[in-house]
Amino acid sequence: MLLLAAGCGHDPADRAHLAALEGQEKGLSIEQQMALVDQAISLEPRRPAYYETRAGYWIALRRFDRARSDLDRDIELVDRPYARFMRGLVACQAGEFERSLADFDTAIAGQPSNTQFYRGRSLARAALGDAAGALEDAEHLVTEVPQQAESWYARGVARARLGRHLGAIDDFDRAAALRPELVYVVEAREKSLRRIGETGRALLDREWLAGARVERAGCAPCLDPFRY
């Protein structure tokens, strides 16, 4: 039924893939959606989009090894900037920040206008202690997409790495005002507030975080800056 409802004009593999993509709206579990993608791959194993879709499900399940394997195959079939970026994010979520840099560099070289690529690289650079590189990417973000909370967050992280906590707090304030649901922004701000002795504000952030982590437990992009 789902395959038929997914639409005409596609072959069986595409219909299975489309049914997987529509699965959340139809109440399917991740495992059921993955089964549909598995079906698509078994029918047409040389279509990179199918592996990218399945990698997204593996990421949701925090099976980063399986996600990387699918993205390796995706890139082997068609080496595209977004697939490289996605594999870089997977490396970061697995704590392999150094491994992510080559993919972020390749993604940016292939599509330098895509600002989200700089966001991933900025945070990876900060995690590796390259505060100057992180700040360079973050300044690009603040210039190009100041309307995005993630741009200010990235610059705040870079500034905090440089010990510029007052500036970092200003950036986290901007990010929190734009997207108050981002738990990781407040987590970063609380750390900088403690570093400069602003114990009162830090306490308020800690109290907010205690409830927000529970309330937003099902919102991965609210909790993890590498989930988009």
CATH number, residue 151: 1.25.40.10
Residue 141 domain-assigned (yes or no): no
Residue 151 domain-assigned (yes or no): yes
The proportion of the chain whose per-residue pLDDT surpasses 70, expressed as a percent, equals: 96
Helix (H) or strand (E) holding 100, with range, is helix 97-110
Residue 155 domain-assigned (yes or no): yes
* Distances, alpha carbon 168 to alpha carbons 52, 143, 152, 192, in Å: 35, 16, 9, 7
* pTM above threshold 0.75: yes
Residue 167 domain-assigned (yes or no): yes
The proportion of the chain whose per-residue pLDDT surpasses 90, expressed as a percent, equals: 94
pLDDT at residue 143 in the model: 98
Residue 191 domain-assigned (yes or no): yes
Residue 64 domain-assigned (yes or no): no
Of the ranges 8-12, 20-24, 173-177, which one carries the lowest mean pLDDT score? 8-12
Residue 128 domain-assigned (yes or no): no
Q: What is the CA radius of gyration of the chain?
A: 20
Instruction: State how many domains the chain has.
Output: 1
- Which candidate, 47, 4, 10, places its Cα nearest to that of 26? 4
User: What's the domain range around 193?
Assistant: 147-228
- Which candidate, 222, 223, 221, 216, places its Cα nearest to that of 56? 221
4 has pLDDT over 50: no
pLDDT at residue 185 in the model: 98
Q: Distance (Å, rounded) from C-alpha 104 to C-alpha 83?
A: 10
pLDDT at residue 47 in the model: 97
Model confidence at 183, pLDDT cuts 50, 70, 90, reads very high
